[in-house]
Amino acid sequence: MRGSNWVLIAALSANLAAEVALAKETAWVDGGKSLRLRSGPGMDHKIVGLVEPRERLTILTENEGWTRVQLPDGSEGWTASSELTTVPPPAVQAAALELDLEDLRQRLGASEEETDRLREETERLTLHEAELKAHAADLEHELVRLEATQRWQERLAGATIGIVGALIGAIFARFSVRRRGSGLRLD
C-alpha cells in the first residue's frame, strides 16, 4: 500500500505541475463557430454557456482531451481541447499589429523630435566651435604681436647697451690719450 501511495502522490504532483504550467495560458476558439462550455470534462456534462469565435479564454487546466477555461467575465467551463487554439485569430492579430504600429509611430515621432533637437544642438555647437576657432586665431595673432614687441624691446636694450659701452670706451680711450700726451718727452 505504501508503494501505491507514492505512485498516487507522484501522479497527483505531475498533474498539479501540468496545471501550474498551463495556468494563465491564453486560447481562442478554433474556427468560426461558437463553442459550447460544459460543467465538466466530457459530453455527458450539461452545457453552461457559449463562447463566440475570437473571444479570448484563459486556460485553467487540462484533463484527458478536455480543457477548463475562464471567460473574460470570470465564468468558467470545460470544452474539448481540440476546439481551442493558442494562435490568435487574424482579427486579434491585426488589432495587436495596429497597436504595435501605433507604438512604432509614436516612437518614430519621438525619434524625429530627438533628431531635430540633436541637429539644432549640432548647429549651435558648430557655431560655437567657429567662434572658438576665431578667438584662438585672434589670440595667436596677439601672441605673435607681443613676441615681436618683446624682440624689439630686447633689440633696443641691446643697442642701448652697445652705445653706452662704446661711449664709455671712447671716454676711457680719450682719458688715456690725454694722460700720455700731457707728460714730458725725453727723446
User: Mind listing the pLDDT tens digit for each residue in 53-105?
Assistant: 878 899 999 988 999 999 999 999 999 999 898 888 888 889 989 999 999 99
Q: Where are the alpha helices (DSSP H) in the chain?
A: 2-22, 90-181
Worst-scoring range by mean pLDDT, 10-14, 155-159, 178-182? 10-14
d(CA 40, CA 12): 19
Cell readout for 154 is 630686447
What mean pLDDT do residues 34-44 have? 92
Beta bridge partners of 61: 68
| Local confidence band at 1 (pLDDT 50, 70, 90 cut-offs) | very low
| β-sheet bridge partners, residue 26 | 58
Residue 79 burial (CB < 10 Å; 0-12/13-18/19+)?
Answer: buried
Q: For residues 70 and 139, what is the distance between their CA atoms, to the nearest angstrom?
A: 80
**Residue 93, phi then psi, degrees to nearest 5:** -60, -40
Q: What percent of the chain has pLDDT over 90?
A: 47
Res 186: pLDDT: 59
CB contact at 8 A, 81 and 62: yes
For residue 54, give the nearest of 84, 23, 98 by alpha carbon: 84
Please tell me the class of the 2-85 domain: mainly beta
The full set of domain ranges for the chain reads 2-85
Could you tell me if 18 and 10 are in contact, meaning their C-beta atoms sit under 8 angstroms apart? no
Q: Whole-prediction pTM value?
A: 0.45
8-17, 118-127, 147-156: segment of lowest average pLDDT: 8-17
Place of cell 453552461: 48
